[in-house]
Structure 1
Amino acid sequence: METFSRLSSLLLQALETREPTVDLLDSFIDHWRSVTTCYIQTSDDSCPVSQTDIPWRLRQMLDILVYEETKLAVEDTGPCLEYLLEHKLLETLCMLGKAQYPPGMFQQVLLFFNKLLTRMQKPLLELIRVYRPVQRLINLCALPGCHVEKEEVQFLLAVCSRVKQDPHTLRCVLELLEQPPGLNQSQHSTQASNQCTDPACSHSQTSA
């Protein structure tokens, strides 16, 4: 009986530690395509996002990104994160959240960004295809009629926490520039809206 118990324990441990057989990138792309398919197949504009599999798909995508990162050095970028950046998935999510379609999508987008920033170790805010969507999402917060103040606060707190952890990313998030002598505030604001010249941001724009 004791031998059988030990054998069962070993088998259970082997199952728990077994590497997934499904290719992570294929699975990641499949989840994203399922999200976009919902928009193609859904004809009922009033159907809330909670009645679709979009929230589950987004959670699976996030879990894959986090798992992938644990298998890499912090400075490395895995294929799933590369796909997210190359295909501008965060920008697309921002547009879907802004459209509030399906109803409740803005809340799901806030949750995704919040968890992405809090669970990933990589300094994502220095990447242009991350901090630009973050900027857009910040501008969408506190709009009338959204009623997602809790999720907005959690998202903004996640942004602040990451900036506190990586202070150099503040210039990327705010797109601040060093103000030359004699440059007035309006000129400074116009110039700042065009680009971020912080070394980390410039490097990120090149690498993105």
Structure 2
Amino acid sequence: MEPQEQSMFSGMRFLYRMIVVTFLVLLVGLVSFFFFKSSLITSKTNPDGSAIQPSVGAATPKFFTPTPIINNSSLTVEVGGGGKTFKTGQTINLQIKGSSDGLEIDGYDILLGYDPQAIEIGKISSNLSAFQIFQFKNKNYLTVTSIKRLNSQENTILHNTVLVKFTAVAKKRGTLKLEILKSARRESTKFVDKLVRVVVPKLIPLAVEIQ
């Protein structure tokens, strides 16, 4: 074989080997990728071969409204000192009592419904030093929000306990009704216990006669 032909043949063999090596490298890479993907798919299937559905709860936070506790707790509107009959213009001492059915209470919301044309309600004050209260006047009801003081160590399990006191003046004759509303607009009457659970109390209204 001529030297020139031998040199050309050697070059072709080198090129052929490079093509084969490149092909093998690509083949190994493709096979490795295939097995890697297969292992991922296998890890996401059940033993019977069916696909495992991703858990929504594990990846997505859930927003829910906790179920309120309905027990034998109660809120009662009553006349301080008793009495069922009053005169127009007379100041009436009123109070709201609460019972929590053994739960320790850390706060409460009371929606006190009344007729502004029939009665004028004065400032509401807390009867318990452990609680501070906030009063908000609405069209035909008052919102009383109370929060237990952070530094208070007082046991606040309620047993027919006077929560708040206030005064009222009747404007006209007839039957005067004061009732605690279950809800109004986006507000609701409730207790909140020390575990931050909502407690729905029974609501007991008051009716007196104004002469």
Q: For the superposition of Structure 1 and Structure 2, which TM-score range results when normalised by the shorter chain?
A: under 0.3
Q: Which has the higher contact order (CA 8 A, sep 6+)?
A: 2
What is the TM-score normalised by the length of structure 2? 0.21
Q: Which protein is bigger by CA-based radius of gyration?
A: 2
Higher helix share: 1
* Structure with more strand by fraction: 2
What is the TM-score of this pair, normalised by structure 1? Answer: 0.22
